[in-house]
Structure 1
Amino acid sequence: MINNKRVTLSLLFYLLITFSACGKEENNSQIKKNPPPPDEPKIEKDITVYVTTATRSFDLTKQNLEFNTKQSMSPATITLNSSVTYQEMDGFGAAVTGSTCYNLMLMKPADRTKFLTETFSHTEGLGFSYIRISIGCSDFSLSEYTCCDQKGIENFALQSEEKNYIIPILKEILVINPTLKILGSPWTCPKWMKVNNLTEKKPYDSWTSGQLNPDYYQDYATYFVKWIQAFAAQGIEIAAITPQNEPLNRGNSASLFMGWKEERDFVKTALGPQLKDAGLTTKIYAFDHNYNYDNVADQKGYPLNIYEDDEAGQYITGAAYHNYGGNRSELNIVHNQRPDKELLFTETSIGTWNSGRDLNTRLLADMEDVALGTVNNWCKGVIVWNLMLDNDRGPNRQGGCQTCYGAVDIGYDYKTITRNSHYYIIGHLSAVVKPGALRIGTTGYTADGIIYAAFKNTDNTYAFVIMNKLSEDKSITINDGTHNFTYKLPAKSVVSYKWNK
């Protein structure tokens, strides 16, 4: 009995092993014949997105987006065309006035560094890349002054506002963004250089209005050279200047009337030659005032008139404009007549008169008129007015703007920051469109209320900035010829994209 049981058990064990082996072979053969599909390839989120809505439900919110896996056939497709190129971009930013620097210096160093990094860093922030400062005082300085208030150009010297506020702030910004471009503009020449008019040429002892005495053209050109060199000695390069801020505005707290004939003669006989003789490569931009030339009949086409003079024109890189009068279409008119000359947009303000702190009112209006409107009309750079003011819209002075808001406003604690429309519109450009980028062509979808511009950066990335003025969301597809992606634009929003080419 024992032996029979062993045989029986052995037989059962043999059959079990054989059956299991057959099952394994059958299963293995099925695996070989029908292998499972490979894992789906992982799609990198190559698109960086920034989105802001007028309601602040999105507040410069940074997102990532994936390319579509298939070419989209959406009728709302915008296709980039990099073979069509327009202007090369210099950058985007704000004016760093004496008032701005005063407010920044009242912040705790760590808070100030955090704000400046968020604003100017290309890697950790929005990459603001172009700023404007005043040569001497502006209407947002702590006092009225020039760098040579004592008669005699030998008395030129930087003043306390430069030494204690502007230069320290510029140095801190340049540590964060060493490639920052700086443009300088004077609000007035020294008073001892002023006359009441060019016929009587009587001394004019006032900060407001007056005209530059031609007898002092050479001294005033030396003033510019000394100012540029003084900043260079502090490690601060001045990329460009304008001969006069708002030359047709006689009423600013610090101001000087300089008609186009005066600016032409000053540039060709003094400023241009002296910059050249000093070995300075600082660019000169003419005009620096409104699209409508303040409706002064004999000042229409101000920069174009200067360009016609070959002696003056050789020193002028281009023209700068503000938007306090007229229409931005003037930019396109000037470009079409002189495409060899550059265009900059150098000043615009928000304030109590235009609901400057109401993002629902200002975001889309300013994006359309100031940001995309100037870029799409050939401007290489866009600069708004004060980067930072306090909650009392200052420091400000009698005779200057007392109703202006900053791109940001700083609270009474010098820590709490309110971002206004100008900060958003510059940030949406500077975050994705880098200095040296080319504005490029587009084809395809257009619609009322949808405004956009496309760019190719020097690092082989594309940038695209679009605004949706509509009260409803709008789904659009962007195609670069190789990749495409689809995004639903929120109602009343601005959206910026950057992705690898």
Structure 2
Amino acid sequence: MQVLTLLKRIFTTAVAFGVIVSACSSDKVDEPQQPHEPDEPEVRGDVAIYVTTANLSHDLAKQAVDFSTSSNMSPTTITLNPAERYQTMDGFGAAVTGSTSYNLMQMTAEDRARFLKETFSESEGYGHSYIRIAIGCSDFSLSEYSLCDNPGIENFAMQSEERDYIIPILKEILAINPSIKIIGSPWTPPRWMKVNNLTDRQPHNSWTSGQLNPAYYQDYGRYFVKWIQALEAEGIPIYAVTPQNEPLNRGNSASLFMGWAEQQTFIKEALGPQLRTAGLETKIYVFDHNYNYDNMADQYDYPVKIYEDEEAASFVAGAAYHNYGGNRQELLDIHQQRPDKELIFTETSIGTWNDGQNLPTRLMGDMEEVALGTVNNWCRAVIVWNLMLDSDRGPNRDGGCQTCYGAVDINKNDYKAIRRNSHYYIISHLSSVVKPGATRIGTSGYTAAGVTYAAFENPDGSYAAVLLNNTNEIKRITLADGTNHFSYEVPAKSVVSYRWN
């Protein structure tokens, strides 16, 4: 009987999404993808629902309920208040690194197209809507390189990793979702632009650490412009950039130290004017690092200090954050200091250090901390780290993270079987119902320990809500929008996404 139940659940998931991916709690990635079998009728109802339970009895299962025709007296009612409006949402997604692109290119064209459609399609998938890429190498590239390794900005050129892997993958994604947003971040400038410190200014011929030589601020500004223009020439628009990934982290395999005063000057004197002169509307987000500023007291409130220079601030859309240190409440603090500036969340990782393939634990924690935790603290976007790594947690390099998992992991033996991890689920639960341009709106009514949620109004007027039930009890929760209401039994230890007109 258990076997029949399992087969029924697997078949139902295949019908709903056209591809089976394994997310079991073992370390093996050995279940093959299956073709779409459109034999059952589409799930229909007034409210579209996606459900994932920590034990995968529901695996991004698509369900539906109808509006209730009876009066609502439920004490567990969450009422949406669209008049109470917060931030506009830009989107949700993952990083398409060199490693991710390499793994995707090892798949058969048919399997890759199926996975990318499931991930990025608005009509046939989960509608992931934001991508982060590196400007040059990252710690998940196939090698260490910049786009101008020979001194002289006239030597700028896309390298083989872009030409052979990243650009082809981005084109395939854009063909599926032409409105995808892309943000770029450098891990390091060309080594000839680096110095040991800003006093001695001796050459720092290393991918790791060093500081940007102020003598090359203008060249580095042009470096960004040339990169954006080169991708746009390939039909790949760049929505935003950050001046430096993790500017307070000297230890990454590709890295650069850039304190707030340096970043402020670089933006004010070079990056901002260079983008504007080139006629580019690419947004600039500052910082791109941890909530706790790596405990460097002189770097606290890094974005706010940059904003204090009005000229620099005029070029800056807002700030980006990671969660490798500190508390997400920092987002609220920065918003309260500068409510005119945007916030986005650009990186978080799972790995062996945080039991990253233990889905029952990670799904609950990552949904609360990363997905709903950042959105409910004013973030317009949520982006996780590598979209896809292989079953050996790579390709990776010495000096980079060798213990990270991807949002999905693909079996290195056949590049066919895929395992979905918590980061794929949390992004999919957001992107499946909350569309770019949506506004986070207010709610009132039912609250309980272990129940976390956020509500939105989409650009088309539909409503969306994403709810986490991190308790051991089924919760029958009613959602009401002032006109309609409906109830749904939210399973214990689950995430549920709703969308209705």
TM-score, normalised to structure 1's length? 0.91
Name the CA distance, whole Å, in 2 between partners of 1:75 and 1:364.
25
In 2: Cα distance, 1:337 partner to 1:297 partner: 18
Q: What's 1:458 paired with?
A: 459
Question: C-alpha distance in 2, partners of 1:442/1:63?
Answer: 23
SS state at 1:70 partner: coil
Quick check: 1:81 aligned with 2:81? Answer: yes
Q: Name 1:296's counterpart in structure 2.
A: 296
Partner of 1:372 in structure 2? 372
3-state SS, counterpart of residue 84 of structure 1: strand
- Per-residue CA deviations over 1:30-53 (Å, capped at 9, x if unaligned) read xxxxxxxxxxxxxx7111000000
Q: Which residue does the alignment assign to 1:473? A: 474
Match of 1:496 in 2: 497
Bigger Rg, structure 1 or 2: 1
Provide Cα deviations, 1:269-299, integer angstroms capped at 9, x if missing partner. 0000000000000000000000000000100
Identity percentage of aligned residues: 71
Instruction: Quote the residue 1:355 is aligned against.
Output: 355
Q: Secondary structure at the match of 2:330?
A: helix
- What secondary structure, in the 3-state scheme, does the structure 2 residue paired with 1:231 have? helix
Give 3-state SS (helix, strand or coil) of 1:281's partner. Answer: coil
- Tell me what 2:201 maps to: 201
Unaligned runs of 5+ in 1: 1-43
How many residue pairs get matched? 457
- SS at structure 1 position matched to 2:251: coil
Separation (CA, whole Å) in 2 of partners of 1:400 and 1:199: 29
Say which SS state the counterpart of residue 139 (structure 1) adopts. coil
SS in 1 for 2:232: helix
Q: CA deviation at 1:392?
A: 0.2
**Structure 1 residues 360-413: Cα deviation after superposition (integer angstroms, max 9, x where no partner):** 110010000000000000000000000000000000000000000000000121
Letter of the 1:431 counterpart: S
User: Does the alignment pair 1:419 with 2:420?
Assistant: yes
Letter in 1 for 2:169: I
**For residues 58-457 of structure 1, what are the structure 2 equivalents within 5 Å?**
58-411=58-411, 412-457=413-458
**Match in the other structure for 2:26:** none
Letter in 2 for 1:440: I
Cα RMSD after superposing both structures: 0.5
Separation of aligned partners in 2, 1:153 and 1:100: 28
The one-letter code matched in structure 2 to 1:445 is Y
Give me the whole-angstrom Cα distance separating, in 1, the residues matched to 2:211 and 2:475: 53
Q: CA deviation at 1:311?
A: 1.1
Shift of 1:64: 1.1
For 2:472 and 2:144, the matched residues in 1 are separated by: 46
Report the alpha carbon displacement of residue 69 of structure 1 after superposing the two structures with TM: 1.1
Residue 372 of structure 1 aligns to which amino acid in structure 2? L
Q: Secondary structure at the match of 1:335?
A: helix
- 1 CA distance for matches of 2:46 and 2:460? 14
- CA distance in 1: counterparts of 2:481 and 2:55, whole angstroms: 31
Distance 1:294 1:45 in 2: 49
TM-score by length of 2: 0.91
SS at match of 2:380: strand
One-letter code aligned to 1:415: K
Q: Secondary structure at the match of 2:227?
A: helix
Query: Counterparts of 2:103 and 2:51 in 1: how far apart (Å)?
Result: 28
CA distance in 2, matches of 1:371, 1:108: 32
Q: Secondary structure at the match of 1:123?
A: coil
TM-superposed CA distance for 1:230, in Å, is 0.2
Secondary structure (helix, strand or coil) at the match of 2:498 reads: strand
Deviation at 1:472, TM superposition (A): 1.2
Amino acid at match of 1:276: R
Q: What amino acid is aligned across from residue 71 of structure 2 in structure 1?
A: Q
Give the CA deviation at 1:488: 0.7
SS state of the match for residue 103, structure 1?
Answer: helix
Aligned amino acid, residue 467 of structure 2:
I
Deviations 1:51-74 (A, max 9, x none): 000101100000011111112101
Q: Which amino acid aligns with 2:491?
A: P
Per-residue CA deviation, residues 307-345 of structure 1 (Å, 9 max, x unaligned), is: 000110000100000000000000000001100000000
Query: How far apart in 1 are the matches of 2:230 and 2:61?
Result: 40
Match of 1:40 in 2: none
Aligned-pair CA distance for 1:245: 0.1
Q: Which amino acid aligns with 2:480?
A: N
Q: 2 CA distance for matches of 1:186 and 1:89? A: 24
User: 5+ residue gaps in structure 2?
Assistant: 1-43
> What SS does structure 1 have at the residue aligned with 2:138?
coil
Helix, strand or coil at the partner of 1:276: helix
